[in-house]
């Protein structure tokens, strides 16, 4: 039986059944009776893949069989040969997640077998994977389920078939920290280990770890502080490659990609098959092969191919280009229908099979993928008279989806790390397109858990590699404000105030006597722009005046954050502190305008030296009112037209440009600002990239911001007060003649249908949930809105 074989029905069951059923016992408030277990002799903290098994007899099929499961690094649980759950959701040791699942649908009267694959990637683990040591635990929810509690009665082996393939910076010539690939030797693999009939009598018994398993906040020892998984299980589904693009020394048709035409590679042959998904995806590749003992199959994955200079160019082109990418490898044992599947998902548009056979031919039976991603459901809708915007919407949505799993990812291929600057944009997309706030809430908590002694949050978390970006700590505060504006959840938001004040204090303590920021530690990243005057910064993305002090950009970002933090503090009765931060924001704005305004150029300079200018400083000056309101529209116009003399905002910081357009009433210019996104589509990208060409990552969620803007700028739908208790609708249609949009709200959907009249008026309809009120604004005129559907004309 092929290992890790997932039937289509089982895949659907995984996403439906593996949710969190009601627990009869509160395991968050008592010591666990199950034991953490591991292999009796294997090293605790080094690379290893382990298989655990436990057999039990039941007098009848149970109606309920709830268990709580976790492992370090990760696990996959099988019941009677069927895969039912994968975890744990990534976090840190002080907040180590466990999954709760009802196994009853997978069990039967008589003999049942629970089997788990547990792996520790050791030194080759992704940066996003935190770890204490190898361990596995199953806790039965009640007396009826305690028979499966992990203890020394479980059997275990270490799978010697696995070894790591390095996919590191040296190999791929760029920053990549997504972990090692998998090499599996089929000769050494214990095929069928997860099946009930497998004979495990020669497996040793597991070793119980000496410490007591416990929920967070219990006991004297560290290790894993267990907390329930706060998000649903990942969505799954079969995906198939679309086209055979190139074959060297062999034959393959597109019929193979549909599972209908096996391919035979003769003995003593090296064949290469370049396959195209047609678009980027995140999936677990599943390759089935027969015969071909000793044949080596290497699977290479890439977002795009590269030319001789290492450039990607048009993503659809393959001629004269090669695949340089992440790799896995399988060595065939000669048996029929062996299935290789890596332990973790891979990101790819292009998948290349390199087959090197030995003395007998190898049969490639089938190759497919199991898609994985956070189960976001697209509930928003957007349509306009310019039908080309639909493609930007669709590609943006794919980008957002591929950058969301157990955490948000900056990019799924290279890092899979949850960075605050990216996540703020991603979270707003999630709220407006799906209405699902659970991953946003988890991200906010993850950053709160990342705080360290300075008072700042870490820049990316969970992460085994410590990194600090003070500007991202400020954006974490803004994320909390975003959540507060869209959800009524005061207990949660109030719990974050100590962390918020820590971040605010750190920045306040580093203000200089000039009123601008003083010298700042850590990596004060702002954008991947080419800062011309920045000195002593090797990491990139940092403007002048960070290390030595005096940056208008960094000072204004503090003011931007202080204003939002003041709203939060006032809401919770801390009025004196709120006014302190409002006044501090005003002082910072004044200091920037006094020292950095260049009257001759009519722009805010990056530092008082006035030798460099950027879009960033002037965008933030608008968002904070550091320049008088009457001057803001003209300033923003100049920022958008002075491309040659200003450091330009890249895709990430254009989110703040778009926010400034709304603020100044220039939202009609949003659609013309989408040329860089149209250029990406023309280059064959199927997701939106990290940066303008040349770019490392072809999929970066901060570049999906047009989705949010289509709904909040073009359709004009925005929260008007905390908790989304009312709505402000101010559409900016530009040259569009019609716009239709729908946004999920906690009380129901908000829908708009607008037509622009030849005379410049607005007609159409607005539908609000029955308990929601709001205001419609159009070119200086306003109209009150009430629950239900109403015809509007302005």
Report, as an integer, the average pLDDT of 460-482: 98
Output the pLDDT for position 8: 35
Shortest CA distance to 76 belongs to which of 104, 115, 48? Answer: 115
- Tell whether 685 is covered by a domain: no
539 and 567 in contact (C-beta within 8 Å)?
Answer: no
Helices and strands, counts by H and E, the chain: 16, 33
On whether both 538 and 436 belong to a single domain, the answer is yes
Dump pLDDT digits (tens) for 395-439.
Answer: 999 999 999 999 999 999 999 999 999 999 999 999 999 999 999
On whether both 219 and 247 belong to a single domain, the answer is no
Quick check: 767 pLDDT over 50? yes
- Tell whether 704 is covered by a domain: no
Task: Name 576's Cβ contacts closer than 8 Å, sequence gap at least 6.
Answer: none
- Tell whether 157 is covered by a domain: yes
Output the pLDDT for position 537: 66
Output the pLDDT for position 246: 98
Quick check: 535 pLDDT over 80? no
For residue 16, what pLDDT band results from cuts at 50, 70 and 90?
A: very low
- Provide the CB-side half-sphere exposure for 346 (13 A, CA): 28
Q: In angstroms, how far is CA 516 from the centroid of its own chain? A: 34
Output the pLDDT for position 533: 65
Output the pLDDT for position 12: 36
Q: What is the CATH number of the domain that holds 574?
A: 1.50.10.10
- Tell whether 384 is covered by a domain: no
| pLDDT over 70, % of the chain | 96
Dump pLDDT digits (tens) for 768-781.
Answer: 999 999 999 999 99
Mean pLDDT of the chain: 95
Quick check: 13 pLDDT over 70? no
Task: Name 620's Cβ contacts closer than 8 Å, sequence gap at least 6.
Answer: 552, 553, 556, 557, 559, 560, 626, 656
Q: Which tokens in the block code for residue 486?
A: 């869209």
Of the residues 673, 695, 713, which one is the last residue of a structural domain?
673
Output the pLDDT for position 6: 32
On whether both 354 and 436 belong to a single domain, the answer is no
- Tell whether 542 is covered by a domain: yes
Output the pLDDT for position 530: 82
Task: Name 199's Cβ contacts closer than 8 Å, sequence gap at least 6.
Answer: none
On whether both 437 and 523 belong to a single domain, the answer is yes
DSSP-based helix, strand, coil % in the chain, nearest 5: 25, 30, 45
Q: Hey, which bits of 88-128 come out as E strands?
A: 96-102, 110-120
On whether both 123 and 212 belong to a single domain, the answer is yes
Dump pLDDT digits (tens) for 189-213.
Answer: 999 999 999 999 999 999 999 999 9
318-338: string of b/e by CB count within 10 Å (b at 16+)? beebebbbbbbbbbbbbbeeb
Distance separating alpha carbons of residues 471 and 449, to the nearest angstrom: 17
On whether both 489 and 637 belong to a single domain, the answer is yes
Distance separating alpha carbons of residues 756 and 108, to the nearest angstrom: 63
On whether both 191 and 269 belong to a single domain, the answer is no
For residue 11, what pLDDT band results from cuts at 50, 70 and 90?
A: very low
Output the pLDDT for position 427: 98
On whether both 271 and 211 belong to a single domain, the answer is no
For residue 87, what pLDDT band results from cuts at 50, 70 and 90?
A: very high
Report, as an integer, the average pLDDT of 678-705: 97
Of the residues 202, 233, 264, which one is the last residue of a structural domain?
233
Output the pLDDT for position 579: 98
On whether both 490 and 635 belong to a single domain, the answer is yes
Quick check: 723 pLDDT over 70? yes
| pLDDT over 90, % of the chain | 93
First to last CA, the chain: 68
For residue 357, what pLDDT band results from cuts at 50, 70 and 90?
A: very high
Dump pLDDT digits (tens) for 365-393.
Answer: 999 999 999 999 999 999 999 999 999 99
On whether both 205 and 269 belong to a single domain, the answer is no
The total number of structural domains in the chain stands at: 4
Output the pLDDT for position 531: 83
28-64: string of b/e by CB count within 10 Å (b at 16+)? eeeebebbbbbbeebeeeebbbbbbbbeeebeeebee
Of the residues 673, 703, 727, which one is the last residue of a structural domain?
673
Output the pLDDT for position 536: 62
On whether both 611 and 491 belong to a single domain, the answer is yes
Dump pLDDT digits (tens) for 276-326.
Answer: 999 999 999 999 999 999 999 999 999 999 999 999 999 999 999 999 999
- Tell whether 749 is covered by a domain: yes
On whether both 285 and 327 belong to a single domain, the answer is yes
- Tell whether 711 is covered by a domain: no
Dump pLDDT digits (tens) for 134-175.
Answer: 999 999 999 999 999 999 999 999 999 999 999 999 999 999
Output the pLDDT for position 66: 98
Lowest mean pLDDT among 38-42, 272-276, 759-763: 759-763
Q: What is the CATH number of the domain that holds 247?
A: 2.60.120.260
Output the pLDDT for position 221: 87
Quick check: 4 pLDDT over 50? no
Quick check: 1 pLDDT over 50? no
- Tell whether 393 is covered by a domain: no
Shortest CA distance to 710 belongs to which of 336, 394, 459? Answer: 394
State the Cα angle at 658 between 679 and 726, rounded to 5°.
Answer: 135
Domain that holds residue 764: 738-793
């Amino acid at each position: 039986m092929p290992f890790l074989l997932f039937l289509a029905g089982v895949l659907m069951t995984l996403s439906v059944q593996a949710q969190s059923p009601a627990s009869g016992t509160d395991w968050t408030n008592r010591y666990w009776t199950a034991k953490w277990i591991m292999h009796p002799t294997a090293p605790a903290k080094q690379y290893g893949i382990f298989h655990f098994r436990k057999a039990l007899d039941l007098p009848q099929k149970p109606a309920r069989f709830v268990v709580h499961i976790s492992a370090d690094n990760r696990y996959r649980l099988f019941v009677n040969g069927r895969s039912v759950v994968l975890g744990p959701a990534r976090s840190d040791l002080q907040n180590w997640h466990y999954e709760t699942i009802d196994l009853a649908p997978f069990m039967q009267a008589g003999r049942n077998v629970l089997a788990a694959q547990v792996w520790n990637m050791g030194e080759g683990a992704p940066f996003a994977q935190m770890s204490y040591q190898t361990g596995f635990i199953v806790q039965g929810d009640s007396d009826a389920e305690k028979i499966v509690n992990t203890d020394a009665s479980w059997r275990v082996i270490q799978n010697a078939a696995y070894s790591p393939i390095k996919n590191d910076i040296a190999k791929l010539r760029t920053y990549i920290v997504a972990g090692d690939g998998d090499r599996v030797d089929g000769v050494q693999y214990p095929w069928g280990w997860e099946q009930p009939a497998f004979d495990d009598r020669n497996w040793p018994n597991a070793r119980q770890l000496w410490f007591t398993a416990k929920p967070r906040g219990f006991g004297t020892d560290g290790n894993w502080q267990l907390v329930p998984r706060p998000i649903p299980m990942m969505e799954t589904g079969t995906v198939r490659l679309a086209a055979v693009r190139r074959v060297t020394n062999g034959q393959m048709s597109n019929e193979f990609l549909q599972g209908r035409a096996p391919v035979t590679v003769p003995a003593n042959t090296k064949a290469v098959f370049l396959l195209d998904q047609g678009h980027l995806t995140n999936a677990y590749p599943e390759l089935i092969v027969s015969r071909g003992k000793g044949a080596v199959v290497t699977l290479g994955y890439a977002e795009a191919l590269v030319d001789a200079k290492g450039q990607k160019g048009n993503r659809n082109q393959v001629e004269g280009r090669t695949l340089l990418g992440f790799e896995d490898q399988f060595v065939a044992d000669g048996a029929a229908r062996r299935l290789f599947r890596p332990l973790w998902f891979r990101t790819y548009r292009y998948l290349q099979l390199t087959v090197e056979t030995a003395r007998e031919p190898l049969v490639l039976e089938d190759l497919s993928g199991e898609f994985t991603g956070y189960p976001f459901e697209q509930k928003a809708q957007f349509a306009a008279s310019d039908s080309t915007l639909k493609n930007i919407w669709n590609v943006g949505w794919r980008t957002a989806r591929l950058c969301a799993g157990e955490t948000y990812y900056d990019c799924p291929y290279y890092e899979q790390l949850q960075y605050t600057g990216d996540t703020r944009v991603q979270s707003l997309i999630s709220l407006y397109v799906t209405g699902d706030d659970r991953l946003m809430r988890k991200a906010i908590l993850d950053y709160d858990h990342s705080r360290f002694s300075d008072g700042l949050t870490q820049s990316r978390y969970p992460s085994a590699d410590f990194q600090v970006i003070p500007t991202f700590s400020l954006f974490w505060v803004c994320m909390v404000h975003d959540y507060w504006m869209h959800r009524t959840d005061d207990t949660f938001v109030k719990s974050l105030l100590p962390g918020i004040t820590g971040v605010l204090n750190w920045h306040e303590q580093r203000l200089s006597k000039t009123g601008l920021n003083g010298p700042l530690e850590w990596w004060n990243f702002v954008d991947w722009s080419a800062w011309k005057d920045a000195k002593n910064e090797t990491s990139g993305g940092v403007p002048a005046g960070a290390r030595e002090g005096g940056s208008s950009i960094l000072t204004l970002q503090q003011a931007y954050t202080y204003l939002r933090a003041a709203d939060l503090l006032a809401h919770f009765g801390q009025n004196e502190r709120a006014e302190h931060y409002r006044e501090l924001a005003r002082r910072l704005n004044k200091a920037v305008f006094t020292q950095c305004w260049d009257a001759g150029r009519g722009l805010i300079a990056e530092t008082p030296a006035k030798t460099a200018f950027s879009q960033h400083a002037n965008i933030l000056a608008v968002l904070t009112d550091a320049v008088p309101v009457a001057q803001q529209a003209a300033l923003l116009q100049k920022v958008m037209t002075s491309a040659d003399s200003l450091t330009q905002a890249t895709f990430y910081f254009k989110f703040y440009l778009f926010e400034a357009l709304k603020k100044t009433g220039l939202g009609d210019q949003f659609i013309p600002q989408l040329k860089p996104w149209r250029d990406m589509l023309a280059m064959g990208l199927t997701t939106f990239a990290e940066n303008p060409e040349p770019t490392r990552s072809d999929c970066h969620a901060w570049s999906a911001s047009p989705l949010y803007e289509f709904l909040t700028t073009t359709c004009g739908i925005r929260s008007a007060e905390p908790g989304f208790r009312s709505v402000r609708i101010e559409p900016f249609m530009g040259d569009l003649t019609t716009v239709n949009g729908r946004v999920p709200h906690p009380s129901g959907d908000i829908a708009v249908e607008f037509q622009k009249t030849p005379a410049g008026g607005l007609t159409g309809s607005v539908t609000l949930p029955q308990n929601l009120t709001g205001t419609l604004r159009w070119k200086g005129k306003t109209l009150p809105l009430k629950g239900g559907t109403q015809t509007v004309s302005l």
